[in-house]
Amino acid sequence: MPKTVIALLGSPILEGNTARLLDEAIRGVEEEGVRVEKIEVAQMDVLPCMEFFQCKESDTCLIEDEMTEVFRKFRKMDGLIVATPVMTMGVPGRLKSFIDRFQVFYMAKYHRGKSFISPERRKERRMLFISIAGMSIPNVFDGVRTTMQAFGEIIDCPLWAEVLQNDMDTVQDITTRPEVMEAAYQKGRELGRLLR
């Protein structure tokens, strides 16, 4: 069965700088023969977690929307790429709501002690994190990195590597930073090689 990576675009700008870096990483993964499914989170019709806690006792979420299929895909995927801009020192709202819906994974793992992902598969799964920030200030990526680390632990796909670019208010166009584009591509290739 071919290996699969899910690539999440957290930016609401579908052809912006974050999307360009994500596309480079996807190109790298695909060149290693790994299948990629791209999900544009801002385009999804997804409700936020309502904390009904049905998932405390069940493998399903009470809310029936596009996330039902996403949960299935996240159980089967081999790797994950998350690409997002920094917004107010965190991730954009739609991406945060998307991540919060993985309460169903959290409850399975931490409350029932029955993670959806076996320990053997967890050892193979990896997350590549790509992010840009407008400002060049100390610790600008700390908030989003912490969110990604927590997300990776909850879904048993630990944060493995990252490609970060700050000062985008000055840079404006990521294609003027070929070394960053190349870094995203190379990390994608490395992820693909590790998953094959």
Calculate mean pLDDT across residues 183-187: 98
d(C-alpha 169, C-alpha 99), whole Å: 27
pTM score of the predicted model: 0.97
d(C-alpha 5, C-alpha 162), whole Å: 16
pLDDT value of position 58: 83
pLDDT value of position 3: 96
pLDDT tens digits, one per residue of 143-152: 999 999 999 9
Q: Does domain 4-195 have CATH number 3.40.50.360?
A: yes
